[in-house]
Amino acid sequence: MEQAGRDDGGSQLSNQERPVRVRVAPSPTGDPHVGTAYIALFNMCFARKMGGQFILRIEDTDQARSTPESEAAIFRALHWLGLDYDEGPDAGGPHGPYRQSERSAIYAREVKKLLDSGHAYYCFCTAERLAQVKEAQKAAKGQLRYDGHCRPLDRAEAERRVAAGEPFVIRLAVPATGETTFRDRLRGEIKFDNSTIDDQVLLKSDGLPTYHLASVVDDHLMEITHVCRAEEWITSTPKHVLLYDAFGWTAPEFIHMPLLRNADRSKISKRKNPTSLDWYRSQGFLPEALLNFLGLLGYSMPDGREQFTLAEMIDEFSWDRVNTTGPVFDLEKLDWLNGTYIRALSPETFVARLQAENFLPVGATPEKMLAAAPLVQERTKRLSEVADLTAFLWQELPYEPSALLPAKKGQPLHTAAETRQILEQVRTVFSEIAATQTWSAAALEQSARTLAESGDWKPTELFMTLRIAITGRPVSTPLFETMVVLGLEEAMKRLDHAIAKLE
């Protein structure tokens, strides 16, 4: 067979001689996937490290499943994460269109070259015939593959049938013998026996390309030098290598990243792990924490540290430090990491982030939230928790009067009358403090402690009663600091309510 002539688009230089160009190529079906961000991150780090380009290509040839909403969600999610691409459907660029649905004429043009060179052929087999072949192969316990029925068809005859309107697909003529080899940057040489590779469909009966054809044609014409994608595509790669050979094009370098896995080591799935980037955003994960986490899943820093920024990852980036064992997606670890990032924010930035991502609780103003920030920042793992953690600051939460009575093993330690009495004393002491001193948490705490100790209350018992009175909950932000943030007037009002409940 002769080689298809080279075309005007891609380059024939070796991958080392060309400026680095990499891509992430998601299909816009469903929610934007965390795996897309993971692959985008590694591509982007490599591109930035090498001073190359990072491209977003939308693989929307599955017309039934692709939606514009899903595409828009991919753009939004990648921009939110700061995984900004140099070229893409919404970024433009010299190698567009970057949406495969807009490139049909290109695939038709390219596949014709393969027909001309004898590397591809028309196939008219009906779905029924293909099903029968499959059944027979199953019964014979043989390999399930296309049996090559249409491969010997005369080209002119095939074209007459096409012209007569007969439905057809175009298949790749895979060599019957020999093997196809490629080098994976992380895994070394990988070999496939050609006898195990099916005569792939390249162009479907609807005239649209399959993933294999579109991916190879686009990677070539977009001058992609390195294809870094998930491990699950390894078995597609020999098909792609055969296509590059058939076209007479230089194949890019291949890097197959280990799959993200559920705790049971199965491929990450939404049944066992949240996979939508929108979910992570709606939970209040910071993009820099999520990036750090995704980086950590596939990569280790030279000094082994677990916290690093995108800029640091780019700086140190090398394929040699990419792991090949499937990383387990551990949400608890992400929570921990996110917490460390949240704690490191200045209170002003913390409030700004809450505001920008719509996490400012109802009833909270940025000013009030700023005052409350030191109380909650320490204990926030996700920004979405802030509304709940601070709910009592913006509204008085309901509780049962009995909750005010300190108890041990279900037995009240003080009666309602005793509790009301000490709360009245607290009220008096607090008013005095307010009148004479600055309204500080330490002063409040000291006076409450002295009061408890002068009666037969343990300070912890009184603090629990006060906590319920002020926040309505047995677990809250630090009690006396919370009163300061609430303000004297509101704290007194809540004490009065508690006293009234005990009457």
Of the residues 204, 270, 272, 333, only one is catalytic, namely 270
The encoded tokens of residue 292 equal 């750090």
Q: Which residues would be at the binding site for ligand GLU (CB under 6 A)? A: 25-27, 59, 215, 229, 233
Classify the phi-psi angles of 330: left when phi > 0, otherwise alpha if psi is within -120 to 50, otherwise beta.
Answer: beta
Beta carbon nearer to ligand GLU, 70 or 338: 70
140: amino acid identity, one letter:
A
CA dihedral 193, 198, 204, 208 (to 10 degrees): -10
Beta carbon nearer to ligand GLU, 59 or 199: 59
d(CA 473, CA 208): 61
Q: How far is the CB of 251 from ligand GLU (least distance, A)?
A: 13
Q: How far is the CB of 149 from ligand GLU (least distance, A)?
A: 29
Beta carbon nearer to ligand GLU, 119 or 229: 229
Q: How far is the CB of 137 from ligand GLU (least distance, A)?
A: 28
Beta carbon nearer to ligand GLU, 171 or 229: 229
Is residue 473 within 8 Å of 390, Cβ to Cβ? no
Kind plus residue range of the DSSP H or E element containing 407 = strand 407-408
d(CA 97, CA 103): 7
d(CA 349, CA 342): 9
d(CA 341, CA 388): 20
Q: How far is the CB of 10 from ligand GLU (least distance, A)?
A: 16
B/e letters for 272-295, b = 16+ CB within 10 Å, e = fewer, are ebbbbbeebbbbbbbbbbbbbbbb
Q: Nearest residue by C-beta to ligand GLU?
A: 229
Beta carbon nearer to ligand GLU, 25 or 433: 25
Q: How far is the CB of 7 from ligand GLU (least distance, A)?
A: 21
Q: Is residue 272 annotated as part of the catalytic site, yes or no?
A: no
DSSP character for 403? Answer: G
Q: Which residues contact 276 (CB under 8 A, 6 or more apart)?
A: 30, 31, 32, 33, 34, 270
Phi, psi of 411 (to 5 degrees): -95, 125
Measured from the Cβ of residue 200, the count of other Cβ atoms closer than 10 Å reads 22
Please, is 17 exposed, middle or buried when counting C-beta atoms within 10 Å of its C-beta (0-12, 13-18, 19+)? exposed
d(CA 149, CA 125): 8
Q: Which residues are catalytic?
A: 270
